Structure 1
């Protein structure tokens, strides 16, 4: 039973990892398209920009929630 739960947990983490990378790439592609519409960024650039966008959003939200 423990092995089955372990396999299910690994599958959930694997799918979540792919989904989060796909989400970061999509957000990064959108940010790059707004800033520089004529550029053709590769996938890695989109993931990095998406990651920076989400980190900035989390830091800003954390600052806003703790400032009061």
Structure 2
């Protein structure tokens, strides 16, 4: 069965990911973007009572414009 993607908002991003040469590649996502991601993507954490997901940019299925 196909699962419907989940929707969320980016609240923070890191500096980027390192490539094979060790150089940081900037992210395409930015704070405030509305995104779609798979149901089992990311790692759930609870910070200051808020349930959040930490995920790689590669887990994002798309950005809603």
Taking structure 1 as the reference length, the TM-score comes to 0.23
Larger radius of gyration: 1
Taking structure 2 as the reference length, the TM-score comes to 0.23
Higher strand share goes to which structure? Answer: 2
